[in-house]
Chains A and B, each alone.
Chain A
Amino acid sequence: GAVVSQHPSWVICKSGTSVKIECRSLDFQATTMFWYRQFPKQSLMLMATSNEGSKATYEQGVEKDKFLINHASLTLSTLTVTSAHPEDSSFYICSARGSGGAYEQYFGPGTRLTVT
C-alpha cells in the first residue's frame, strides 16, 4: 500500500516551453501533497505544499507564477514548470500524505527534467 506514482519519469524540453509533471496516489487518498526539487548531491528542498481544492503554499524563494501547482482531486496533483530555463533542470519529487502525521509522507519515484 501507499504507492505514489509520477509521470513522466524523465523529460527533456527546450528553453521557453512549459512542462507538466503529474503526481498520483494510487491506493490512498492524499489530502496533502508536497513538491520537492533535488539538485545533484544535494538534499530535497521543499517547494510547495498543496491541499486538495485549495491554493498551494509556496516556500520562500519559490516563484509561484513559474511553478504552477494544481491539486484538483484527492489522488492527483500536478506541477507545471512554465517558461522553463536550463537552471530549472533538476530532479522533481512529489510526496503524498494520507490521514497520518507528517511522518507518513510517501514519495514518488521522481521526474528528471532537463531543459536545453
Chain B
Amino acid sequence: QKEVEQDPGPLSVPEGAIVSLNCTYSNSAFQYFMWYRQYSRKGPELLMYTYSSGNKEDGRFTAQVDKSSKYISLFIRDSQPSDSATYLCAINPQGGSEKLVFGKGTKLTVNP
C-alpha cells in the first residue's frame, strides 16, 4: 500500500462551486499534513499545513484532517478560474524527519 493515495482526477467544476480534494494515508503515526498548489510547469506552492485532527481555515480554503480515518481533505469555497491547478497533498511521515511524501496530485479546472 502506498503511503499517500490521491485521486488524480481530473476534476472540472463551474466557477463558484465548492471543491473537495481528498487524500488517504497509510500510517497512523504520520504527523504533519500539507496541501500544495502547482501551476503547470511551476514548482509547488504551500497552501496550508496542519498537524492535528479538525479543521483549519484560511480565506476560501479549509484543510480538514481525520486521523481516525487517515483521511485529509482540502475544500475550496467560491472557486475561481485562477484556482485551476494541480493540488498535491503531502505528509511528513514522522516527527523530526524533514522528508515529505506527496500524493500524485489532483488536476482541477474551474470553468468561468
Chain A interfacial positions (CB closer than 8 Å to B)? 4, 6, 32, 34, 41-46, 49, 91, 93, 95, 97, 101-110, 112
Taking CB atoms, residues of chain A closer than 8 Å to B97 are 102
Band of interface residues on B: 20 to 34
- Whole-angstrom CA separation of A43 from B88 in the bound complex: 8
- Whole-angstrom CA separation of A111 from B62 in the bound complex: 31
Taking CB atoms, residues of chain B closer than 8 Å to A44 are 44, 88, 102
- A93-B43 contact, Cβ under 8 Å, with A49-B98, A103-B34: yes
Taking CB atoms, residues of chain A closer than 8 Å to B46 are 103-107
Taking CB atoms, residues of chain A closer than 8 Å to B44 are 44, 93, 107
Chain B interfacial positions (CB closer than 8 Å to A)? 6, 8, 32, 34, 36, 41-46, 49, 51, 88, 92, 97-105
Nearest CB in chain A: distance from B82 CB, A: 18
Nearest CB in chain B: distance from A44 CB, A: 5
- A97-B98 contact, Cβ under 8 Å, with A44-B88, A103-B34: yes
- Whole-angstrom CA separation of A108 from B92 in the bound complex: 19
Query: Out of A32, A43, A108, which one reaches B43, CB within 8 Å?
Result: A108
- Whole-angstrom CA separation of A41 from B9 in the bound complex: 11
Assess the B102–A43 pair: CB atoms within 8 A: yes
Closest residue of A by beta carbon distance from B107: A41
Nearest CB in chain B: distance from A18 CB, A: 23
Assess the B8–A102 pair: CB atoms within 8 A: no
- Whole-angstrom CA separation of A29 from B30 in the bound complex: 27
Closest residue of B by beta carbon distance from A94: B43
Query: Out of A46, A103, A107, A112, which one reaches B41, CB within 8 Å?
Result: A112
Q: Which of A34, A49, A106, A107 has the most CB of B within 10 A?
A: A107
Nearest CB in chain B: distance from A95 CB, A: 8
- Whole-angstrom CA separation of A95 from B42 in the bound complex: 12
- A103-B92 contact, Cβ under 8 Å, with A46-B99, A93-B43, A93-B44: yes
